[in-house]
Amino acid sequence: MKKKIVLLTRDCDSTTILYNYLNQYFPIDTVVFEKTISKTEQFRRRVKFIGFWGAVGQVIFMLSAFPFLKLISQGKRKKILAQYKLDLTTIPAEKIKRIDKLSSTKGREFLQELKPDLLIVNGTRILSTKTLESVSAPFVK
């Protein structure tokens, strides 16, 4: 009997690589992309946890360091993709579902409707206990 495997994730290259690798061995039924939070909301949350100046410091670091790090890491990224034969083929559109937030009433109802046998989690926000308990299928991180 075929198991219904659902991938809970965000839309990024690591998701595509994970999907393409796993799908070779275990057919993935559905890929659920959780909406990412806005930069403004991320900043507000950081202010709440580390204070205004700490959050400003992180923003300055990200604006100055990330472009430089991205530039110098492009060659290494290509080498790793080739060395390990990582597949960036686009996930078929018919496999993709989108949701604002998995840890919400709507998110839990959505997961229940999917009736998964296994949920694989990659790169989502932290899932609430209610969400983890909303379906009987195991979650794998």
Task: Give whole-number Cα distances, 128 to 44, 50, 54, 65, 108, in Å.
Answer: 20, 22, 27, 32, 10
What integer pLDDT is reported at residue 113 of this predicted model? 96
Residues, the chain: 141
pLDDT of amino acid 37 = 86
Tell me what the pLDDT averaged over the chain comes to: 94
Over pLDDT 90: what percentage of the chain? 87
Nearest to 139 by CA among 104, 102, 106: 102
Q: What is the mean pLDDT of residues 66-84?
A: 92
Check pLDDT > 90 for residue 66: no
Integer CA distances (angstroms), 107 to 10, 99, 131, in order: 14, 7, 8
Residue 82 has pLDDT above 90, yes or no: yes
Q: Would you say 8 and 123 are in contact if contact means Cβ atoms under 8 Å apart?
A: no
Q: How confident is the model at residue 108 (pLDDT cuts 50, 70, 90)?
A: very high
Distance (Å, rounded) from C-alpha 109 to C-alpha 134?
8
Query: Tell me: the pLDDT tens digits for 110-122?
Result: 999 999 999 999 9
How much is the pTM? 0.84
Tens digit of pLDDT for each residue in 5-57? 999 999 999 999 999 999 999 999 999 999 988 889 989 989 999 999 999 99
Angle, vertex CA 43, rays to CA 68 and CA 57, nearest 5: 50
